[in-house]
C-alpha cells in the first residue's frame, strides 16, 4: 500500500513508485517531480529513440533545480530486477555498471531518482567500444547572438552532407545547439573524436568569423564546435531532456525546416509533448566516417605538450578569481572583484569572463577566470589571492591519507592496460 508520500503509476506493464510526487522541482512555477515524470511519459517514444539502449550517467537533482546536482555513474545497488545495466571500463581501469533504458517504466524509474536530464553515452549497450553516434555540440561564447548559432548549424549541416552523413538537429535546452549523426559502430572512440575535430576545423575554415575549433577557452570566439564531446566517458543530454531552467526548457529535436526560425525558449515541458517527433527516421540514416577521417588527415595534428614542460602557459593574459563548490558562490566572488576594480570591468567583453563548470569525482564545481586581453597592459590588475580555493578532491585526499579509499575510487591492482582506444578522455 503506497503511503501519502508516494504515488504508484502503471506503465509498460509494470508498477513504478514515485516517491515524494509533490516535491517542487521548479520553485518559481511550482512544477513538481510528478509533473516531470508525466512529461517524460508523454514523450517516451521520442526520449527512448534518443536515449534508449545506451549506457547513461545519472545526473540527479534530488532537491530540484535550485539544489546542487550530482553525478552518479554507477547504478544504485537497490533497484528493481527489471532495470538493465551494462559494464563500462574507464581509462583508469575502473569499471562501473551503468543503467540502460529500454522502456517507459525504466524511464519513469530513472526520473524518480531526480534525473531531469538523460545523460547518455554515444554507444549502444551491445557494443560499448564503438560509438554509433557522432555528436556535434555548438557552444557559443558569451555575447554571441542566437542567430549566429543557427547560421553555424546550417553550415555544419552542409559539411555533414558533403561528407556523406545525415545530421539530426536539436536545441540544447540552453544557449547552444546539437547535431547528431548516426554512424556505423565500427570506429574507435579516438577515431570518432578525430573525425569530429576535423569536422570542427572545416566548419571554422569556411566561417572563420562565426565559428572556432580553438581548444583553449580564452582563445575562442563566436561558436565553438566542441569535438571533445566525442571522447570516451563523455555524456550529453539526449533529445527531450528537461534542462534545469526556470522555464523547464527542453532539448528538443527539430526538422531542418524548423531550424532557421527556431526559438529555444518556446520548447518547454508544457509545449513539447504536443509536437510530432521529427527524428522518427534516424535509425535508418547510419553513415560512414571514412570521408570525415580523410578530411581530418589533411589537417596538421596539434603537437602535444613537451614532456616535463609543466603546466601549459596560456597565450592570453589570464587571472583567476575563485574556485567554489557552487555557481552562486563563484558569481558572488566575481561581484566582489568587480567592486575592487571598477575601472577594469567596463573594458571587458562578455567572452572575457570565463565561468568554468568543472567535473569533480561526483559533483560539479566552479572556477572563474578573467581574460585581460582588452585591458591596456599598464591597467591590468595583478593576480590576487583567490576569493575561495575549493578543492573538489579534498575528501578523497583525506581518505587516501587514512587508507580509506572506497573500492570504486581505487585503480585496479593488476597491470593490464586498457585498449589503445580507451586511453583518451
pLDDT of residue 401: 75
Cα gap 118→278, rounded to integer Å: 19
Is pLDDT above 90 for 44? yes
What percent of the chain is modeled with pLDDT above 90? 72
Residue 315's φ and ψ, nearest 5 degrees, are: -85, -10
Distances, alpha carbon 382 to alpha carbons 240, 347, 385, 394, in Å:
45, 16, 10, 28
Look at residue 6 and tell me whether its pLDDT is greater than 50.
yes
Cβ neighbour number for residue 210 with a 10 Å cutoff: 17
Q: Is residue 309 pLDDT above 80, yes or no?
A: no
User: Do 211 and 139 touch, CB atoms closer than 8 A?
Assistant: no
Task: Give the pLDDT of residue 301.
Answer: 67
For 176-222, the pLDDT digits (tens) are: 999 999 999 999 999 999 999 999 999 999 999 999 998 888 888 99
Q: Among 69-78, 179-188, 362-371, which is the least confidently predicted range?
A: 362-371
Helices assigned H by DSSP within 126-208: 146-162, 189-206
Greater pLDDT, 304 or 128? 128
**Residue showing cell 578532491:** 393
Q: pLDDT at position 4, please?
A: 58
- Average pLDDT rounded to a whole number, residues 215-237: 90
Task: Kindly report the average pLDDT of the chain as a whole number.
Answer: 88
Q: What cell was used for 104?
A: 517507459
pTM score = 0.81
Nearest to 122 by CA among 164, 78, 182, 71: 182
Bridge-partner residues for 366, per DSSP? Answer: 324, 357
pLDDT of 417 strictly over 70: no
- Confirm if 36 and 269 have CB atoms less than 8 A apart: yes
Mean pLDDT computed over 147-173: 97
Residues linked to residue 179 through DSSP beta bridges, in sequence order: 136, 169
DSSP string, 246-269: TT-BB--B--TTTGGG--GGG-BT
In tens, the pLDDT along 102-114 reads 999 999 999 999 9
- The per-residue pLDDT for 7 is 94
At residue 312 the predicted structure's pLDDT band, cuts being 50, 70 and 90, is low
Mean pLDDT of the 335-361 span: 88
Give the separation between CA 406 and CA 413, rounded to whole angstroms.
Answer: 14
Quote the distance between the C-alpha of residue 162 and its chain's center: 27
- How far does the chain reach from its first CA to its final CA, in angstroms? 47
> Is residue 412 within 8 Å of residue 418, measured between CB atoms?
no
Arithmetic mean of pLDDT, 271-284 = 95
Out of 85-94, 164-173, 184-193, 327-336, least confident range: 85-94
The least confident of 77-91, 126-140, 291-305, 306-320 is 306-320
Give 16's Cβ-side CA count (13 Å radius).
Answer: 24
Q: What are phi and psi of 353, to 5 degrees?
A: -100, 105
- Pairwise CA distance, residues 301 & 227, whole Å: 14
What pLDDT does 403 receive? 72
Amino acid at each position: 500500500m503506497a503511503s501519502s508520500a508516494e504515488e504508484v503509476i502503471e506503465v509498460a506493464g509494470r508498477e513504478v513508485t514515485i516517491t515524494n510526487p509533490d516535491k517542487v522541482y521548479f520553485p518559481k512555477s511550482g512544477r513538481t517531480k510528478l509533473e516531470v515524470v508525466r512529461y517524460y511519459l508523454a514523450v517516451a517514444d521520442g526520449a527512448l529513440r534518443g536515449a534508449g539502449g545506451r549506457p547513461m550517467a545519472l545526473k540527479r537533482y534530488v532537491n530540484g533545480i535550485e539544489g546542487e546536482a550530482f553525478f552518479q555513474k554507477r547504478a544504485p545497488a537497490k533497484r528493481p530486477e527489471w532495470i538493465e545495466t551494462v559494464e563500462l571500463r574507464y581509462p583508469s581501469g575502473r569499471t562501473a555498471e551503468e543503467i540502460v533504458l529500454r522502456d517507459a517504466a525504466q524511464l519513469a524509474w530513472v526520473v524518480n531518482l531526480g534525473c531531469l536530464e538523460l545523460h547518455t553515452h554515444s554507444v549502444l549497450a551491445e557494443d560499448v567500444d564503438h560509438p554509433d553516434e557522432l555528436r556535434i555540440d555548438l557552444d557559443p561564447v558569451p555575447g554571441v547572438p542566437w542567430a549566429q548559432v543557427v547560421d553555424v548549424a546550417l553550415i555544419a549541416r552542409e559539411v555533414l552532407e558533403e561528407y556523406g552523413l545525415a545530421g539530426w538537429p536539436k536545441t540544447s535546452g540552453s544557449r547552444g545547439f546539437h547535431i547528431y549523426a548516426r554512424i556505423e559502430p565500427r570506429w574507435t572512440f579516438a577515431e570518432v573524436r578525430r573525425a569530429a575535430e576535423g569536422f570542427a576545423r572545416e566548419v571554422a575554415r569556411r566561417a572563420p568569423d562565426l565559428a572556432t575549433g580553438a581548444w583553449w577557452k580564452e582563445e575562442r570566439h563566436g561558436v565553438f564546435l566542441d569535438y571533445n564531446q566525442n571522447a570516451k566517458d563523455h555524456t550529453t543530454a539526449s533529445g527531450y531532456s528537461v534542462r534545469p531552467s526556470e522555464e523547464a526548457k527542453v532539448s528538443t529535436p527539430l526538422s531542418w525546416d524548423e531550424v532557421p526560425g527556431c526559438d529555444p525558449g518556446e520548447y518547454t515541458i508544457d509545449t513539447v509533448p504536443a509536437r510530432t517527433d521529427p527524428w522518427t527516421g534516424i535509425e535508418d540514416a547510419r553513415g560512414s566516417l571514412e570521408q570525415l577521417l580523410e578530411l581530418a588527415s589533411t589537417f596538421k595534428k596539434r603537437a602535444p605538450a613537451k614532456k616535463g614542460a609543466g603546466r601549459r602557459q596560456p597565450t592570453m593574459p589570464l587571472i583567476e578569481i575563485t574556485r567554489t563548490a557552487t555557481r552562486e558562490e563563484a558569481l558572488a566572488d566575481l561581484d566582489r572583484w568587480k567592486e575592487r576594480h571598477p575601472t577594469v570591468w567596463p573594458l571587458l567583453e562578455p567572452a572575457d569572463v570565463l565561468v568554468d563548470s568543472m567535473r569533480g569525482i561526483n559533483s560539479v564545481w566552479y572556477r572563474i577566470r578573467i581574460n585581460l586581453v582588452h585591458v591596456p597592459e599598464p591597467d591590468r590588475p595583478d593576480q590576487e589571492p583567490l576569493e575561495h580555493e575549493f578543492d573538489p578532491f579534498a575528501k578523497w585526499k583525506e581518505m587516501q591519507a587514512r587508507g580509506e579509499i572506497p573500492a570504486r575510487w581505487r585503480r585496479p591492482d593488476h597491470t593490464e592496460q586498457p585498449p589503445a582506444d580507451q586511453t583518451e578522455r
